[in-house]
Homo-oligomer: A and B are copies of this chain.
Amino acid sequence: MTELKAYTALIETELAKIEFPESPSQLYDPLRYFLGIGGKRIRPILTLLSAELFGSTANKALSQALCIEVFHNFTLIHDDIMDAAPMRRNMKTVHEKWNQDVAILSGDVLMIKAYQLLGKIEPKLLPPAFELFNKTAIEVCEGQQIDMDFEERSDVSIDEYIEMIRLKTSVLLGCALEIGAIVAEASSENRSHIYNFGQHIGIAFQIQDDLLDLYANPEKFGKQVGGDVIANKKTILHLTALKHASLEQREVIKQLQNENNVELKVDRTRRLFDQLDVRSFCEARMQEHYAIALKSLEMIDVDASKKEALVGLAVFLMNREV
């Protein structure tokens, strides 16, 4: 989507302008580094588009857009410690490049920085923006904890999984959009609709992420197809397969998790998933949330022509191959 490029560039420029003190360098160098390694910047763009949708300007919502992106980066720094992830976006994670204490403390500062950026909103709009942001921030932490809890459980239902991704990732998309609406002083009904749009697009996006892992076109995907299968991740594909599997098929799924031949593991898992119609079940679930998202957008009380950018973004996100 070429029209998004201008927004991405604006966010990159403004992120680069955030000033951190030189010292203590162990606290601030990691933040300069981590904010500089890029990312899709989808969340702050949502804030800008939402502000414009409701008749304000992208410029007026810039600090709040940065707040959302900075908060997102805080969660990545801390999540990377918990997931013991060595790399992110082909670069070393903060705890890997420095150490864990540095990642904890610089993450903490980045969260506070997000609040400082939020605080640049017009004073009369601070209370509602602050309330929404706090609620969302807590939900994101809950989602991360539930995700970690799932690693220890073998009885996770699909509904529980959807609720986990709603908390861990989708509420922040809703919040990003609603904060743009708050900046533009949209009505509470419109605020609620745009939040729901973000939340359900977020869920659909995550389900699609799981689908792409196994069903992406390898030539376009850019990463190893089947990465989640190889890592025995409990994606919605895995949970759907388990739900529909016979006792024998469950046994096969278990055995495949211990398979060392990676190619064989991915191929056989895909074949079994195909027998169980996993792909179409998950696609149906994704379409369900995509439809709610579009319906929520439709219900917003502004001229349809103004919604084109967000519809375009939704279509783009749902048709991606990467």
Interface residues of A (CB under 8 A from B): 24, 26-27, 78, 81-82, 101, 104-105, 108-109, 111-113, 115-116, 119, 123-124, 126-127, 130-131, 134, 137-138, 141-142, 144-146, 148-149
A113 x B126 contact (CB < 8 A): no
Minimum CB–CB distance from A26 to chain B (whole Å) comes to 6
- Please give, as numbers and ranges, the residues of chain B lying within 8 Å of A131 by CB-CB distance: 119
A112 x B126 contact (CB < 8 A): no
Minimum CB–CB distance from A153 to chain B (whole Å) comes to 12
A138 x B109 contact (CB < 8 A): yes
From B81, B113, B130, B137, A104 is in contact (CB under 8 Å) with: B81
- Please give, as numbers and ranges, the residues of chain B lying within 8 Å of A26 by CB-CB distance: 145, 148-149
Whole-angstrom CA separation of A78 from B78 in the bound complex: 12
- Oligomer copy total: 2
Whole-angstrom CA separation of A81 from B102 in the bound complex: 11
Which interface residue of A24, A116, A138 has the most chain B CB atoms within 10 A?
A24
From B112, B124, B134, A116 is in contact (CB under 8 Å) with: B134
- Please give, as numbers and ranges, the residues of chain B lying within 8 Å of A146 by CB-CB distance: 24
Which interface residue of A112, A116, A127, A148 has the most chain B CB atoms within 10 A?
A112
A145 with B104, Cβ < 8 A, contacts A126-B130, A134-B115 known? no
A130 x B141 contact (CB < 8 A): no
A101 x B82 contact (CB < 8 A): yes
- Please give, as numbers and ranges, the residues of chain B lying within 8 Å of A145 by CB-CB distance: 24, 26-27, 105
B105 x A108 contact (CB < 8 A): no
A24 x B149 contact (CB < 8 A): yes
Residue ID in chain B nearest A27 by CB atoms: B145
Q: A24-B145, A105-B148, A112-B138 are in contact. List 11 more A-B contacts (CB 8 A).
A: A24-B146, A24-B149, A26-B145, A27-B141, A27-B145, A78-B104, A82-B101, A82-B104, A105-B145, A115-B130, A123-B127
- Please give, as numbers and ranges, the residues of chain B lying within 8 Å of A123 by CB-CB distance: 124, 126-127
- Please give, as numbers and ranges, the residues of chain B lying within 8 Å of A81 by CB-CB distance: 101, 104
Minimum CB–CB distance from A209 to chain B (whole Å) comes to 22
Whole-angstrom CA separation of A115 from B146 in the bound complex: 23
B82 x A141 contact (CB < 8 A): no
From B112, B124, B141, A105 is in contact (CB under 8 Å) with: B141
Whole-angstrom CA separation of A123 from B131 in the bound complex: 11
- Please give, as numbers and ranges, the residues of chain B lying within 8 Å of A101 by CB-CB distance: 81-82, 148
A24 with B130, Cβ < 8 A, contacts A104-B81, A104-B82 known? no
